[in-house]
Structure 1
Amino acid sequence: MFSPFRVDVPQGAIDELRQRLRATRWPRSLPGEWERGVPVEYLRGTVERWLEFDWRAWETRLNAIPQYTTEIDGQTIHFLHARSTEPAAVPLLLTHGWPGSVAEFLEVIGPLTDPTRYGAEATDAFHVIAPSVPGHGFSVPLAESGWDHLRIARAWIELMERLGYDRYGAQGGDTGSVVSPLVGRLAPDRVIGVHLNGGLAFPAAGPGDLDDLSATDQAKLASAEQLRATGTGYAVLQSTKPQTVSFGLSDSPVGQLAWILEKFHDWTDPARALPEDAVALGHLLANVSIYWFTNTSATSANLYYESGTYPTAPSGVPTGVAVFPTDPAMRHLLEREHHLTHWTEYSRGGHFAALEAPDLLVDDIRTFFRGLR
């Protein structure tokens, strides 16, 4: 039912990547910084770092965590499965987003599975199950169309059942902030709690909902409006013509790097000027490399094309939300869709919390689940 998996990129693919990077045809550019997109000179410097990047070291880090593949609903599903040695550990299903991968969980898996080693109590331990979203990373090839958030949630429930987990928590950001609540709605008898971060959707507001906002929520609204005005072009393309945009991304590693790097600039902690100020450049390049080596620009974008509307009535499953800078979440709006029992707002971090502020995210997850074990 499960096949052991190891990341093992052929050396020829690494050599080809470097050849393509060296042969980049750079575009002409106009004066300016990030307002038109990723600056050419900045990207040149990042490409130089990618040429020096040690992919094998990151392969070793990934392969230090047990990994498997299985087939669910006709689709190959890859997942990390890091079990804790603590007998009372609670299974925790982690779901990444776009442009993320399971590599973004490398900083949180240790503290979650082995809390005593990181200064926490043994009673805070989790078994971590982190699947690659279909069409992303190593959950390839994408077998067919129709893999939307709801189908992914059903697949995750099947995965947890196959693993023998009949009682577990769900956590996620970005795509995971949509999928994890759906897991709770579909399996409320199994999911003990849902923890969320990193939602980017514009606040689902009705008449009067955005009146009399606090100063904090007014700032969130202004940021959300700015994102909607200038930062959603990628989503329009990926949700309407994902195959067309993928030709440039699949053929040019610099194109793929720029496409993802822009999101790490726009969505990370606004107090950090550059993406690598918020997320270690090595980790960022590992993530981009996964997209390149697995050739998943089209299939990961497909989720935007497939996305639809889903049930929003509260499931009754306790839900916690960790709000980081750049997250437009407003409690009075989200509590209509979720049974909110935990809410924390942080002044440090951003959309990629597992990479930007893993200490805060882990602590928030522990705090939320303590009363639900």
Structure 2
Amino acid sequence: MTATAERAALRPFRIEIPDAALADLRARILHTRWPERETVDDESQGPRLATVQELARYWAEEYDWRRCEARLNTYPGYLTEIDGLDIHFLHVRSQHEDALPIVLCHGWPGSVVALLKVIEPLTEPAAHGGRAEDAFHVVVPSMPGYGFSGKPAAPGWGPDHVGRAWAELMQRLGYDRYVAQGGDWGAIVVDLMAAQEVPGLAGIHTNMACVVPAEIDRLFQQNVVGAADALRHLPAGLSEEERAACAQLDFTWKHVTYALQQGSRPQTLTGLADSPVFLAAWLIDLEAKGLALISRAFAGGEEPLTRDDVLDNVTLFWLTNTGVSAARMYAENSFSFFGVKGVRLPVAVSVFPDELYLAPRSWAEQGYPNLVHYHRLPAGGHFPAWEQPASYVDEVRTGLRSLR
């Protein structure tokens, strides 16, 4: 085998975390030095002390990583080198040979863990309320710097590069025609794959539509600290639905301090590699509705995400020491988060009510001229595959059905 062929080979990969790493994690949690309580009675200053302390208690006393590890290892896992970097991915083929290949693209602070609930319903739909003809062959890669993928040692791995790498991965797996799905960073990745019209890509499904018109997108990017008062300078003629989306964008842009830090000074976050409790607090404070959901879960509420769901993801970040390397994706990015990318391929859009902003149909039709599906859901947030897997699966099946 040549050196090139050896690098491109698909190497089986099994997760086996040493007991010593788990013992070290527990010891670090137990030795956390705590700050004082917040000075407000809400989450406007971030995760409440009581939430984080209960998370830490459960993590140290009750949580079982081996359960998550065993679940991950039930799916075929591999490593393959693409552009000099090892990429970890799960590859689960359906028993239906005519299944449609799909690559599922996670975001931050997600991981392959946040997509595990949908693998079996997508690959074997008849066993999960669907039809055999809706089956998918599922590929779930870990983004560079996330999970068990390699960590870039030099600049250049922005979302456009990730998209090209996923196209190479799908070709390497023998899929000459496939679809892609994404949310958060994954939504930007699949949009860029479609804009690049990478070989084999037939269309995409997104649960975070990148369709904000350029004039409006610029207003909010200039308004991060609120000084520009973007809502007073919106273009005339917007519908009520479009104005509501602008209000949501205004709130989002003023509350993305994690993105500003990770985009400008990710290396300052060295504590993410040293303190598991700091890592957990940082990862759960993505956006207001998600934090509220997680806080209720750790307060004992019955929520779409369980305490184990949350800690499976956080523990993966800790054990792979990827808090800082994952953050660098923000520093690598040169594209608008929500702006139009120039996609001409078929696109299916699912709008979940607790998303960062609710993309109006009018913007979706403008931003995706080949829109094949648009649906607003009654429940779900920024990570629907994790929070509302049944709805997510139904949307992927329905939205991409015309591309089979």
Report the equivalent of 2:259. Answer: 235
Task: Check conservation: 1:269, 1:349, Cα contact below 8 A.
Answer: no
Report the equivalent of 1:42. Answer: 51
1:283 deviates by 1.0
- Residues 1:97 and 1:243: Cα distance change in structure 2 (over 3 Å): same
SS, match of residue 335 in structure 1? helix
Report the equivalent of 2:394. Answer: 363
Task: Check conservation: 1:203, 1:330, Cα contact below 8 A.
Answer: no
Report the equivalent of 2:230. Answer: none
1:19 deviates by 0.1
Q: Which of these residues, 14, 29, 48, is aligned with residue 21 of structure 1? A: 29
1:361 deviates by 0.7
**Residue 286 in structure 1 maps to residue 316 in structure 2:** no
SS, match of residue 93 in structure 1? strand
Residues 166-177 of structure 1 aligned to structure 2 (within 5 Å): 166-177=176-187
Task: Check conservation: 1:94, 1:171, Cα contact below 8 A.
Answer: yes
- Residues 1:267 and 1:173: Cα distance change in structure 2 (over 3 Å): farther
SS, match of residue 71 in structure 1? strand
Residues 107-256 of structure 1 aligned to structure 2 (within 5 Å): 107-187=117-197, 190-198=200-208, 204-206=214-216, 211-214=237-240, 216-229=241-254, 231-245=255-269, 247-256=270-279
Task: Check conservation: 1:269, 1:348, Cα contact below 8 A.
Answer: no
1:309 deviates by 2.7
Structure 2: 5+ residue stretches without partners: 1-8, 217-232
Report the equivalent of 2:223. Answer: none
- Normalising to structure 2: TM-score of the pair? 0.86
| Counterpart code for 1:232 | V
C-alpha separation in 1, matches of 2:279 and 2:210? 21
Task: Check conservation: 2:213, 2:367, Cα contact below 8 A.
Answer: no
Q: Which of these residues, 283, 286, 289, is aligned with residue 260 of structure 1? A: 283
C-alpha separation in 2, matches of 1:23 and 1:49? 14
Report the equivalent of 2:367. Answer: 337
1:279 deviates by 1.2
Task: Check conservation: 2:209, 2:364, Cα contact below 8 A.
Answer: no
C-alpha RMSD of matched pairs (Å) = 2.2
- Work out the percentage of aligned pairs sharing the same amino acid: 40
| Counterpart code for 1:305 | A
| Counterpart code for 1:244 | T
- Residues 1:346 and 1:273: Cα distance change in structure 2 (over 3 Å): farther
Residues 293-304 of structure 1 aligned to structure 2 (within 5 Å): 293-304=319-330
Q: Deviations over 1:184-221 (max 9, x none)?
A: 2323552122000135897744486574423x544433
SS, match of residue 350 in structure 2? strand
Q: Which of these residues, 14, 29, 39, is aligned with residue 31 of structure 1? A: 39
C-alpha separation in 1, matches of 2:210 and 2:267? 23
C-alpha separation in 1, matches of 2:293 and 2:111? 24
C-alpha separation in 2, matches of 1:203 and 1:275? 36
1:140 deviates by 2.1
Task: Check conservation: 1:67, 1:79, Cα contact below 8 A.
Answer: yes
SS, match of residue 69 in structure 1? strand
C-alpha separation in 2, matches of 1:58 and 1:42? 22
SS, match of residue 156 in structure 1? helix
Residues 310-349 of structure 1 aligned to structure 2 (within 5 Å): 312=340, 314-327=342-355, 328=357, 329-338=359-368, 339-349=370-380
SS, match of residue 336 in structure 1? helix
- Normalising to structure 1: TM-score of the pair? 0.93
C-alpha separation in 1, matches of 2:275 and 2:38? 21
C-alpha separation in 1, matches of 2:277 and 2:65? 16
Task: Check conservation: 2:351, 2:377, Cα contact below 8 A.
Answer: yes
C-alpha separation in 1, matches of 2:10 and 2:157? 21
C-alpha separation in 2, matches of 1:111 and 1:272? 25
Q: Deviations over 1:123-165 (max 9, x none)?
A: 0000000100000111123242210011111111111111010
| Counterpart code for 1:243 | Q
Structure 1: 5+ residue stretches without partners: none
